[in-house]
């Protein structure tokens, strides 16, 4: 049974807003958690427990002048860059399943915005397009720090994308599908893929950390080296869009981890589906934040070496071994 | 006039360990400049980048003009002077006892140590005997100052390499040190607690228990930092073998302090040319052999531990000195006690003369150096016999450390550049003066 198109549109609208709220409160959570880990309070002025801080930040960013350097030759590209990143980040979330689907009166509602048979490829494809935003944004700014930042982004994201895709190959082989919904169902029937695909999970998580430019792989915007990396010359909400897309990328990646390795919305009591999904997502995001509080930053050449010489072989071997075992036990 | 004795004309340096690299890497006659190699410069593929004077990790206002070949640093020029305030010249316009406030403001992280050097110089010119209690208290305060400075170094250096949390832990404990300073002198920084002749005031009663609590707590805190960094593989990757400086180069560049000791030169003024009461306390001088960023980190962390030990020993001594004088009883130099002003005409006259004209210091010149948190902090003072110093000149260890930047930058990447400059621990206030 298919859901009517207008439900999809309403759902898309709701989900986009939910993701935006999730993003806003991820920043709050990050600042709060980092604060606690670092012996301080974090935001606690705006609203109770600082809960209005993201709203205040948004108001500040929107009201701030979106400054554009004179040296920017192509203003259109300068403005479109953060929008590309933001758009792809949001679009990638559309295929993430967060619930089993419901029957409401005589309509059927899916547990995701779109059930695409090649959802996994779509997510990666959108992610790859999103990288253009970072690269072009840094390049068009015509600033040396931005250029260095976008060079790093370019190299880092392209090389870690390979490991990222190879890491999920094991899951795809075991799940026998590229559709995220099918993979989740399969995990419910057999076993959470985190157990048999532990290596894949680790590679996926590490490569994902690099892919979303989170510590210890936050080289593209290593503030102590490159001031702010590719978005040095951005301000106001344009800068905000870059930040938003980064956080949403992180949320999407966490959602993908939950979906691929931890059986998505499945939990002890089925009707609470989306809640389980949210809980797993929350834990995953918290781990990202924890990493940021703990680890120093890698150096550029070490990062590349790690990506190509450690992660890629491990991911490849994992995929090959999984494939061999799956064929052997059939 | 007495001239500062030739202190190290014929010195053989106690170098530990094998040579770090063969030959010398000092790039040119002007050691702060790393020239872009001719073959690279002709390729027209070099990106000159300005790191600073406003940059998140240049410790104030150091400006580094860096030539980059991709991520590789191939040329480097350090530009200084953005924080020049003319401390030395200003001090010539102040009476001796007012000038004491200037040196701590140069190196605003190890302020007590700078204050100490200048005060010791005045006392040497005056040939003034300092009471034992003041000596021990000065030693205690200097070591606390060293801990304070190293804590800030550790926090910021770790931050620059990306370990953001350490900054907050270090600043938490730095605050504990500042609380102790506040307890003693009323000010958190720039206490001006040292006075020609001794201390500005007696040590308050509550200080001892507070200081002991700190001494118990601090080693545990250092364990915590080490747990985060010392064996962290990423930290090791980022710091080991980076920014090499051989012992010979370090000596040729005039390095001192932790930078020198990390290069395997076993040299510490506190032990080798003792001042205050350092010959009466038991402490170890940490020396490491590899001359890289990691060893500089290890030296500083170990020094913090040793400083805590020295503070404990000072406390043990000071415990037995309750009620003893804390300042010399020379009414020509030292302010008379407040209560005497109402009863003694003589005291009132002395007080008036010291406050208005200042005390006169005999003609002569001295060089006094102390082991500051950054190395040999020297103070060269010339007096013409008047109430104001005729000339004051400081040997700032930060300034000297900065000269090693280009030598350390051998085959460095941008990220290393930040780590290296951080590891040399320069305070721009002291460099530019």
Q: What band does B1 get if pLDDT is binned at 50, 70 and 90?
A: very low
Find residues 46-65 of chain B whose CB sits inside 8 Å of chain A: 47, 49, 55-57
B55 vs A227: CB contact, 8 Å cut-off?
A: yes
Condensed to tens digits (0 to 9), the pLDDT of residues A162-197 reads 888 888 888 888 888 888 888 888 887 788 887 788
Q: Pick A296's closest partner by Cβ from B57, B168, B232.
A: B232
Report which of A66, A44, A65, A68 is spatially closest to residue A56, judged by C-alpha positions.
Answer: A44
B421 part of contact set with chain A, CB < 8 Å = no
pLDDT score, position A127: 85
Q: Pick B71's closest partner by Cβ from A40, A292, A300.
A: A300
CA torsion angle for B130, B135, B141, B147 (degrees, to 10)?
130
CA distances, A98 to each of A15, A115, A174, B129 (Å)? 10, 11, 21, 80
End-to-end Cα distance, chain B: 27
- The partner residues of A305 in beta bridges, in order of sequence, read none
Q: What band does B9 get if pLDDT is binned at 50, 70 and 90?
A: low
Handedness of CA A50, B156, B82, B35 (dihedral sign): negative
CA distances, B151 to each of B156, B173, B296 (Å)? 9, 8, 13
pLDDT score, position B143: 92
A300 vs B414: CB contact, 8 Å cut-off?
A: yes
- Residues of chain A positioned with their CB less than 8 A from the CB of B234: 216, 295-298
Q: Pick B168's closest partner by Cβ from A38, A215, A224.
A: A38
Interface probe for A, chosen from B162, B234, B241 (most Cβ of A below 10 Å), is B162
A224 vs B418: CB contact, 8 Å cut-off?
A: yes
Asked casually if ipTM beats, i.e. exceeds, 0.85, the reply is no
B71 part of contact set with chain A, CB < 8 Å = yes
The answer to whether B303 and B146 are in contact (CB under 8 A) is: yes
B170 part of contact set with chain A, CB < 8 Å = no
| Distance, CA of B232 to CA of B228 (rounded, Å) | 7
Describe the crossing of helices A236-261 and A198-211 by its angle, rounded to 10 degrees.
180
- Residues of chain A positioned with their CB less than 8 A from the CB of B168: 38-40
A299 vs B415: CB contact, 8 Å cut-off?
A: yes
| Distance, CA of A314 to CA of B116 (rounded, Å) | 58
Mean pLDDT of B94-108: 88
pLDDT score, position B299: 92
Handedness of CA A251, A253, A259, A263 (dihedral sign): negative
Pull the structure tokens for residue B190: 């720039």
Residue A209 pLDDT > 60: yes
Condensed to tens digits (0 to 9), the pLDDT of residues B377-424 reads 999 999 988 889 999 999 989 888 888 888 888 888 888 888 888 888
Within 8 A by CB and 6+ apart from A173, the residues are A319, A322, A323, A326
Handedness of CA A28, A32, A37, A41 (dihedral sign): positive
| Distance, CA of B206 to CA of B227 (rounded, Å) | 32
Pairwise pLDDT comparison (B318 vs B5), residue with the higher score: B318
pTM of the model: 0.87
B236 part of contact set with chain A, CB < 8 Å = no
Chain A nearest CA to B140, separation (Å): 28
A299 vs B57: CB contact, 8 Å cut-off?
A: no
A144 vs B49: CB contact, 8 Å cut-off?
A: yes
* Radius of gyration over every alpha carbon of chain B, rounded to an integer in angstroms: 22
Read out DSSP for B6-67?
--STT----B-SS-SSSS----SSSTTEEPPPHHHHTTT--EEEEE-SS-TTSTTT-EEEEE
Chain B nearest CA to A273, separation (Å): 36
The answer to whether A85 and A251 are in contact (CB under 8 A) is: no
User: Is residue B89 helix, strand or coil?
Assistant: helix
Q: Pick A296's closest partner by Cβ from B55, B169, B235.
A: B235
B45-B46-B47 Cα angle (round to 5): 120
Read out DSSP for A180-198?
HHHHHHHHHHS--TTTTTH
What are the b/e assignments for B210-229, b being 16+ CB within 10 Å?
A: ebeebbeebeebbeebbebb
B413 part of contact set with chain A, CB < 8 Å = yes
- Residues of chain A positioned with their CB less than 8 A from the CB of B172: 39
- Residues of chain B positioned with their CB less than 8 A from the CB of A301: 71, 413
| Distance, CA of A44 to CA of A53 (rounded, Å) | 8
Q: Pick B162's closest partner by Cβ from A147, A226, A297.
A: A297
The answer to whether B157 and B167 are in contact (CB under 8 A) is: no
A224 vs B416: CB contact, 8 Å cut-off?
A: no
Chain B nearest CA to A54, separation (Å): 22
Q: Pick A296's closest partner by Cβ from B163, B168, B172.
A: B163
Q: How far from the centroid of its chain's Cα atoms is residue B223's Cα?
A: 23
pLDDT score, position B57: 67
A300 vs B415: CB contact, 8 Å cut-off?
A: yes
The answer to whether B91 and B104 are in contact (CB under 8 A) is: no
The answer to whether A64 and A126 are in contact (CB under 8 A) is: no
Within 8 A by CB and 6+ apart from B320, the residues are none
- Residues of chain A positioned with their CB less than 8 A from the CB of B47: 144, 147-148
CA distances, A145 to each of A32, A176, A219, B48, B420 (Å)? 29, 45, 12, 11, 19
Q: What band does B303 get if pLDDT is binned at 50, 70 and 90?
A: very high
User: Is residue B74 helix, strand or coil?
Assistant: strand
Q: Pick B169's closest partner by Cβ from A39, A152, A292.
A: A39
Residue A246 pLDDT > 80: yes
B351-B353-B354 Cα angle (round to 5): 65
Q: What band does A223 get if pLDDT is binned at 50, 70 and 90?
A: low
Q: Pick A223's closest partner by Cβ from B56, B234, B235.
A: B56
Condensed to tens digits (0 to 9), the pLDDT of residues B51-90 reads 878 776 667 788 888 888 878 888 888 888 888 888 889 9
The answer to whether A149 and A220 are in contact (CB under 8 A) is: yes
Q: Percent of chain B at pLDDT above 70?
A: 97
Report which of B16, B44, B38 is spatially closest to residue B261, judged by C-alpha positions.
Answer: B16
Q: Percent of chain A at pLDDT above 90?
A: 2
User: Is residue B242 helix, strand or coil?
Assistant: coil
Condensed to tens digits (0 to 9), the pLDDT of residues A248-272 reads 888 888 988 988 888 778 777 766 7
pLDDT score, position A124: 87
| Distance, CA of B295 to CA of B284 (rounded, Å) | 16
B68 vs A148: CB contact, 8 Å cut-off?
A: yes
Burial (Cβ within 10 Å: 0-12, 13-18, ≥19) of residue A58: middle
Describe the crossing of helices B293-319 and B207-229 by its angle, rounded to 10 degrees.
160
A216 vs B237: CB contact, 8 Å cut-off?
A: no
Pull the structure tokens for residue B406: 């280009």
- Residues of chain B positioned with their CB less than 8 A from the CB of A223: 56
Q: Pairing mode, if any, of strands B47-51 and B33-34?
A: unpaired
Long-range contacts, B65-71 (Cβ 8 Å, 24+)? B66/B414, B66/B417, B67/B36, B68/A148, B68/B414, B69/B40, B69/B45, B70/A151, B71/A148, B71/A152, B71/A300, B71/A301, B71/B413, B71/B414, B71/B415
Closest residue in B to A34 (Cα) is B165
Report which of A245, A244, A236 is spatially closest to residue A59, judged by C-alpha positions.
Answer: A236
CA torsion angle for B36, B40, B41, B47 (degrees, to 10)?
-80
B234 vs A295: CB contact, 8 Å cut-off?
A: yes
Closest residue in B to A220 (Cα) is B415
Neighbours of B265 (CB within 10 A): 24
B228 vs A294: CB contact, 8 Å cut-off?
A: yes
CA torsion angle for A311, A315, A321, A326 (degrees, to 10)?
160
B232 vs A215: CB contact, 8 Å cut-off?
A: no
B159 part of contact set with chain A, CB < 8 Å = yes
Q: What is the mean pLDDT of chain B?
A: 86
B414 vs A38: CB contact, 8 Å cut-off?
A: no
Q: What residue has token string 């060293």?
A: B146
Closest residue in B to A291 (Cα) is B163
Strand locations in A131-247, DSSP E?
none
Report which of A144, A132, A301 is spatially closest to residue A226, judged by C-alpha positions.
Answer: A144
Handedness of CA B405, B406, B409, B410 (dihedral sign): negative
User: Is residue B370 helix, strand or coil?
Assistant: strand
Segment among A121-135, B8-22, B113-127 with least mean pLDDT: B8-22
Interface probe for B, chosen from A42, A225, A291, A309 (most Cβ of B below 10 Å), is A225
B203-B207-B212 Cα angle (round to 5): 135
B234 vs A293: CB contact, 8 Å cut-off?
A: no
Q: Pick B161's closest partner by Cβ from A151, A223, A297.
A: A297
Chain A nearest CA to B161, separation (Å): 6
The answer to whether A280 and A55 are in contact (CB under 8 A) is: no
Q: Percent of chain A at pLDDT above 70?
A: 96
Report which of B290, B154, B311 is spatially closest to residue B222, judged by C-alpha positions.
Answer: B154
Describe the crossing of helices A5-37 and A236-261 by its angle, rounded to 10 degrees.
100
Neighbours of A294 (CB within 10 A): 17
B238 part of contact set with chain A, CB < 8 Å = yes
């Amino acid at each position: 049974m298919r859901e009517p198109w207008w439900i999809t549109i309403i759902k898309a609208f709701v989900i986009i807003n939910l993701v935006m709220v999730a993003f806003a409160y991820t920043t709050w959570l990050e600042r709060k958690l980092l604060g606690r880990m670092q012996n301080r309070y974090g935001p606690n002025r705006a609203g109770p427990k600082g809960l209005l801080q993201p709203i205040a930040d948004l108001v500040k960013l929107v009201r701030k002048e979106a400054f554009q350097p004179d040296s920017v030759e192509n203003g259109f590209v300068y403005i479109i860059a953060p929008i590309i990143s933001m758009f792809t980040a949001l679009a990638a979330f559309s295929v993430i399943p967060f619930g089993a689907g419901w029957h409401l009166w005589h309509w059927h509602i899916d547990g995701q915005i779109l059930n695409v048979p090649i959802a996994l490829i779509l997510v990666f494809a959108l992610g790859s397009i999103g990288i253009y935003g970072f690269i072009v944004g840094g390049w068009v700014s015509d600033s040396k720090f931005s250029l260095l930042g976008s060079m790093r982004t370019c190299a880092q994201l392209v090389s870690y994308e390979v490991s990222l895709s190879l890491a999920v190959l094991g899951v795809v082989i075991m799940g026998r599908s590229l559709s995220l919904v099918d993979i989740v169902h399969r995990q419910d029937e057999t076993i959470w893929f985190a157990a048999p695909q532990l290596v894949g999970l680790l590679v996926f998580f590490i490569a994902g950390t690099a892919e979303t430019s989170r510590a210890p792989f936050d080289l593209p915007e290593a503030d102590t080296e490159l001031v702010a990396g590719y978005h040095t010359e951005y301000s106001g909400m344009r800068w905000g869009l870059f930040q938003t897309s980064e956080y949403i990328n992180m949320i999407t990646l966490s959602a993908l981890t939950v979906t691929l390795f931890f059986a998505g919305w499945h939990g002890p009591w089925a009707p609470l589906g989306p809640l389980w999904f949210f809980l797993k997502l929350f834990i995953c995001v918290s781990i990202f934040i924890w990493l940021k509080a703990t680890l120093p930053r890698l150096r550029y050449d070490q990062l590349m070496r790690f990506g190509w010489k450690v992660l890629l072989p491990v991911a490849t071997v994992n995929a090959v071994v999984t494939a061999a075992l799956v064929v052997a036990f059939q | 006039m007495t001239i500062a004795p030739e202190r190290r004309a014929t010195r053989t340096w106690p170098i530990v360990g094998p040579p770090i690299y063969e030959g010398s890497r000092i790039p040119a006659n002007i050691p702060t400049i790393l020239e872009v190699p001719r073959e690279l410069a002709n390729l027209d593929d070099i990106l000159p980048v300005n790191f600073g004077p406003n940059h998140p990790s240049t410790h104030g206002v150091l400006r580094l003009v860096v030539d980059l070949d991709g991520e590789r640093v191939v040329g480097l020029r350090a530009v200084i002077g953005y924080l020049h305030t003319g401390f030395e010249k200003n001090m010539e316009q102040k009476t001796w006892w007012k000038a004491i406030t200037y040196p701590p403001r140069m190196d605003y992280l190890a302020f007590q140590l700078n204050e100490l050097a200048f005060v010791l110089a005045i006392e040497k010119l005056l040939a003034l005997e300092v009471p034992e209690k003041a000596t021990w208290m000065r030693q205690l305060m200097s070591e606390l100052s060293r801990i304070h400075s190293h804590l800030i170094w550790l926090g910021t250096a770790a931050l620059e390499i990306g370990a953001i949390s350490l900054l907050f832990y270090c600043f938490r404990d730095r605050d504990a040190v500042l609380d102790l300073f506040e307890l003693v002198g009323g000010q958190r920084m720039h206490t001006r607690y040292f006075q020609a002749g001794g201390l500005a005031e007696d040590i308050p009663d509550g200080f001892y228990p507070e200081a002991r609590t700190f001494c118990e707590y601090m080693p545990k805190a250092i364990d915590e930092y080490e747990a985060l960094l010392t064996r962290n593989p990423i930290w090791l990757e980022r710091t080991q073998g980076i920014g090499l400086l051989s012992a010979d180069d370090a000596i040729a560049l005039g390095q001192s302090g932790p930078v020198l000791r990390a290069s395997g030169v076993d040299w510490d003024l506190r032990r080798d040319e003792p001042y205050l009461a350092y010959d009466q306390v038991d402490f170890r001088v940490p020396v490491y052999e590899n001359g890289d960023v990691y060893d500089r980190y290890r030296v500083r962390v170990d020094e913090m531990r040793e400083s805590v030990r020295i503070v404990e020993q000072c406390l043990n001594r000071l415990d037995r000195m309750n009620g003893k004088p804390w300042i010399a009883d020379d009414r020509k130099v030292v302010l008379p006690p407040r209560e005497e002003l109402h009863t003694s005409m003589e005291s009132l006259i002395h007080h008036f003369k010291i406050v208005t004209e200042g005390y006169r210091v005999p003609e002569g010149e001295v060089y006094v150096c102390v082991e500051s948190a950054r190395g040999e902090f020297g103070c060269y003072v010339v007096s013409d016999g008047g109430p104001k110093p005729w000339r004051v000149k400081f040997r700032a260890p930060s300034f000297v450390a900065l000269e090693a930047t280009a030598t350390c930058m051998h085959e460095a990447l941008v990220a290393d550049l930040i780590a290296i400059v951080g590891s040399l621990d320069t305070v721009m206030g002291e460099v530019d003066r």
